[in-house]
Amino acid sequence: MGPPGLGKTMLAVGLGLKAIDAGYSVCYERMVNLVDILDNAPYQKISKYRLAKLKKSQVIIIDEIGYTPITKEEANRFFSFISELYERSSLIFTTNKRIDEWAEVMGDPVLTAALLDRILENALCFSLRGQSYRLKDKTLRKEEKEPVKE
């Protein structure tokens, strides 16, 4: 977890690639896309297929939790999805929200407590801090273009 631009997605994908190298099946999905898949799986073949693929994976990376709000119904479907995978698959999450802010994202403190209970039981949590690499690069480029005043 941590603010944007610190490499959370890069670290998650790197862990996913290491898992693939070790012979594990891995799926990656941004939270906004996962919510869409969960919403549409009963109605669309492609979403149903993708959901089945996610559920069969040994490692699932869910990126960008908290960047976009979700409805209570979407949070319920997400909870059901995570509950189904609980102790069956390894999960990697990236988020810009602290754990105590997830209830705000999910819209239901009781559901969030149950969700976090499952997620955090055997979890390793990493909190990244610092300046965005994207913004740092932009600042460096700007400084390089400015003429030196004497």
Query: What confidence score (pLDDT) does residue 69 get?
Result: 87
pLDDT of residue 131: 87
Q: Going along the chain, which residue ranges are E strands?
A: 26-30, 59-65, 90-95
State residue 135's pLDDT score: 81
The pLDDT, as a whole number, for residue 28 is: 98
Burial 126-141 (b: 16+ CB within 10 A, else e): eeeeeeeeeeeeeeee
Rounded to whole angstroms, the Cα distance separating 129 from 107 reads: 26
Query: Residue 97's pLDDT is what?
Result: 94
pLDDT tens, residue order, the chain (150 aa) = 999 999 999 999 999 999 999 999 999 999 999 999 999 999 999 999 999 999 999 999 999 999 998 999 999 999 999 999 998 999 999 999 999 999 999 999 999 999 999 999 999 999 999 888 878 766 555 555 555 555
pLDDT for the residue numbered 101: 94
What are the φ/ψ torsions at residue 22 (nearest 5 degrees)?
A: -85, 0
Predicted pLDDT at 127: 94
> What is the reported pLDDT for 139?
59
Structural domains of the chain ordered from first start: 8-145 (3.40.50.300)
